[in-house]
Amino acid sequence: MLSAHLVPARNAFDGTDLIFTLNSAAQARAALGESVINATVGALLDDNGRLVVHESVMGLYRQLTAPEIAPYAPITGDPAYLLALTQRHWPMLTSYGIGVATPGGTGALAVSLRNMLEPGQRLLTAAPYWGPYVTLAVENGIVMDTVPYPADGELLDVVAWRGACEAILRTQGRLLLWLNDPCHNPTGRSLTTADRRALLQMLRDLTPLGPVTLLLDFAYLDYARDQRTVRAALDEYAAIGAERDVLVGASLSLSKAFTLYGARAGALVFPWSTDTALGAALATSCRGTFSNCARAPMSVLLRMTRDESAQRALADEHLRWSTILTQRADALDTALQAEGLRAAPWDGGFFVAILLDEPFAVAERLQAEGVFVVPMKEGLRVGVCGLKVSDAPRFAAALRKCLAA
């Protein structure tokens, strides 16, 4: 039914979110007593399917006093919060540069679109990508172009990436690139150092064509096989940011880092910028969309920065869950290979992607086997954040059966 009250362009949606819909379907089947593998979710679950919540964080949350929760936060966010969140990624920085608090990383992505592109212009990102990227683009009147995320064992296709960047710069005079690296959703991999360097050099080379903004979308950095590779990536990004030819920004979030998904705490920061016009524009976006963000999670982060024992406890929790994610991803990889299927190596994050043909049909057949995953154009997204080690062989066997069908 069309609504007469909606403007025509807003009558074109079905309003559902594929990930949440599939998760509900899996839960409904489990509630009927069926043994279900639910690998749709984007939140960390323990082996009993319960949401993991870091006690180090919740302990601080419980200590919050009324003034740390109730008052409005400044429209652009508490500067101490912005600095603390930025320093979680780049501890050597003494300023967050230009930045605003946003409702999660999603809010940061939306604010970047509204300020770096005109309606109708094109955003560039790698495919496969986190599904809501398209929703964010559509909602902001932006067209999303993609370049291929390098397949396992293959080099980044610099020629294709350069061609796409150059075409956009030549037609619209500006480029906004969203890069979800390291710990990419959904592939579960990070760019190799060589690929990252080639990409950054290519962006540097293109700056004479117009302003280039590289927005780093960091969501899962605390959950990696090897934190040293995360550090190395962040250092590379800091180096290009400090050159200030390419504008480097970051979408930051406490959703996964603090297991505070529901608190909606994030930020959009440009740590190497001093551009006051940029600051004023971002502040206006905040006021004109959500006014201010929640104060409580900002206060929790500030308490964390003052509490060394809570910091140690959180580091332990991150290490524990990174280890479990590594075991789960490795178990899945081994099980897939044991079934003669393509390997799915993992560097970090909550997912792995299994690239295959007809993903939507395969995902549907998998449901008949009690296995729920999220289909994408390129294959299946499997949430290792919710897939316990002992389920990996059943998962792989079901997949082989469905691929043969």
Q: Residue 268 interacts with ligand PLP (CB under 6 A)?
A: no
Neighbours of 400 (CB within 10 A): 16
CB-wise, 96 or 129, nearer to ligand PLP?
129
Yes or no: say if 98 and 104 are a contact pair by the CB < 8 Å rule: no
CB-wise, 137 or 169, nearer to ligand PLP?
137
SS3 159: helix
Yes or no: say if 326 and 226 are a contact pair by the CB < 8 Å rule: no
Q: Tell me how many residues contact ligand PLP (CB under 6 A).
A: 13
Yes or no: say if 265 and 104 are a contact pair by the CB < 8 Å rule: yes
Give the interface segment with ligand PLP, choosing from 67-75, 100-108, 112-120, 285-293 (CB under 6 A).
100-108
Q: Please, which residues bridge with residue 251 across strands?
A: 217, 268
Q: Tell me how far CA of residue 203 lies from CA of 3, 58, 208, 247, 280, in angstroms.
A: 45, 41, 10, 10, 26
As a whole number of angstroms, the distance between CA 403 and CA 370 comes to 15
Phi, psi of 250 (to 5 degrees): -140, 140
CB-wise, 105 or 271, nearer to ligand PLP?
105
Phi, psi of 34 (to 5 degrees): -80, 150
Q: Residue 128 interacts with ligand PLP (CB under 6 A)?
A: no
Q: Residue 106 interacts with ligand PLP (CB under 6 A)?
A: yes
Minimum CB separation of residue 253 from ligand PLP in Å reads: 3
Q: Residue 219 interacts with ligand PLP (CB under 6 A)?
A: yes
CB-wise, 249 or 266, nearer to ligand PLP?
266
Of residues 23, 76, 185, 326, which one binds ligand PLP by CB under 6 A?
185
Q: Residue 386 interacts with ligand PLP (CB under 6 A)?
A: no
In the stretch 155-184, what mask flags binding to ligand PLP with x, by CB under 6 A?
A: -------------------------x----
SS3 111: helix
Q: Residue 187 interacts with ligand PLP (CB under 6 A)?
A: no
Nearest to 190 by CA among 240, 148, 229, 237: 229
As a whole number of angstroms, the distance between CA 354 and CA 379 comes to 6
SS3 137: helix
E strand segments, 151-290: 175-179, 212-217, 247-253, 266-270
Q: Residue 375 interacts with ligand PLP (CB under 6 A)?
A: no
As a whole number of angstroms, the distance between CA 244 and CA 271 comes to 10
Closest residue to ligand PLP using C-beta atoms? 104
Q: Residue 290 interacts with ligand PLP (CB under 6 A)?
A: no
Minimum CB separation of residue 7 from ligand PLP in Å reads: 27
Q: Residue 297 interacts with ligand PLP (CB under 6 A)?
A: no
In the stretch 40-59, what mask flags binding to ligand PLP with x, by CB under 6 A?
A: --x-----------------
Minimum CB separation of residue 159 from ligand PLP in Å reads: 25
CB-wise, 78 or 181, nearer to ligand PLP?
181
Residues that bind ligand PLP (CB under 6 A): 42, 104-106, 130, 180, 185, 217, 219, 253, 255, 261, 266
